[in-house]
Structure 1
Amino acid sequence: MKKRIFVIAVLLVVTVLVGTGFNTKENHDFSAFSTEGLELFYHVPTEAELTPLLVPVNPQFNLFLGKTYLGFKEALGFKESRGDYQIVNDYGYMGKYQFSRATLRMMGLKNADNFLFDTRQQEAAFMAYTSLNKWILRKDIKRSVGKTMAGVKITESGILAAAHLAGAGNVKKFLRSAGTNRFEDANGTSIRYYLRKFSGYDTSHIVANKKPRII
């Protein structure tokens, strides 16, 4: 009997405590709360501190093309225009590989108005011009590759790059004079420099073509 009375008494006490503990009006009224007179320590970051966190991080990729044909044309395109398809230089040379309108007309492109905005056409023009230069210089390539002229070892890719810079005729003069007949373009870039810079790429699959056409 005493045990039962004790249990009932405990339950009544718990009931009273629970009922009064969740009385929000008495225990959870923060309307009169103030921080006046308190020593507060906090730090709100400035905009400058947040900026590095807001800038998206772009992953960096380095594509290694090696001494392939793709590596050859991309390296040459970067040297000519930093790979910009829509650039026109002070002398009127256009696009990634810096073609003149006269050279494009020679390869069948009569209207070059859309040339800067047609990347496929520019790539086709590069292949066509390279195959033409290979045909013009076919005998000089056969005679000169492997030799050293003006301190530069001659390779087929170097010859084709130099022809892109100076024209096949000037490269022919350089090779047939063993490097004594030299050429520099309006920016001071020489055949010798291109022969060295673009040496050793694989351009073997480029087919020499006497009359290439830009498709």
Structure 2
Amino acid sequence: MSTDQLRVVVADDQALVRTGFRLILESEGIEVVAEADDGDQAVAAVRRTRPDVVLMDIRMPVLDGLEATRRIVADRAQEPPRVIMLTTFDLDQYVYAAMAAGASGFLLKDVTPEHLTAAVRLVRSGDALLAPAITRRLVERFARPDAPTAPHRELAALTPRELEVMTLLARGLSNAELAARFGLSEATVKTHVARILGKLGLRDRAQVVVAAYETGLVSVGSGPGPA
């Protein structure tokens, strides 16, 4: 789907926020197909309009953005949209849980117009909105170090190289840094990442990072890989 066909649902309990985001997106040729002022409305709007991307406020009445995200991503009646969480606080404690529930990243509500439209297009293309290093900060700040790990049933399907890539990605290395580490091209690294996504049934790099911590492949506080 081309960028001028992008379809977005904006879910926020503040009318001014919804209106502002609508004006910004539509000025860039991105269609806002529905607005919602609570989580229930957001879930219903997604089912009705089938957007590409949802801008989802974390704190909303009736049903919060976290639970709304879980319901949207879990709905197998259609291909779920990408969800970007909206928050007023950097590294909000709920963002990690939202990413684990299926969100592709987060934005602060005071995001610039340019960053907003770029973010919507980025997640629609299948990328995660968060850099791995930022995702790692989220995990290390809010994941419980003593939480029992839940080995992913497909983790054994990864090759030794794919496990290495996943581990270093979770520790914050970029594609360029991974390529330099292994003496590979960035295109080859992207292929490894794509295979990891496919084998684990994950949607983007952000969820690879979350899965690495939740399965115990990487532990909280382990830090980035050696240079």
Q: With the length of structure 1 as denominator, give the TM-score of the two structures.
A: 0.23
Q: Relative contact order (alpha carbons < 8 A, sep ≥ 6): 1 or 2 greater?
A: 1
Q: TM-score, normalised on structure 2?
A: 0.22
> Rg bigger for which structure?
1
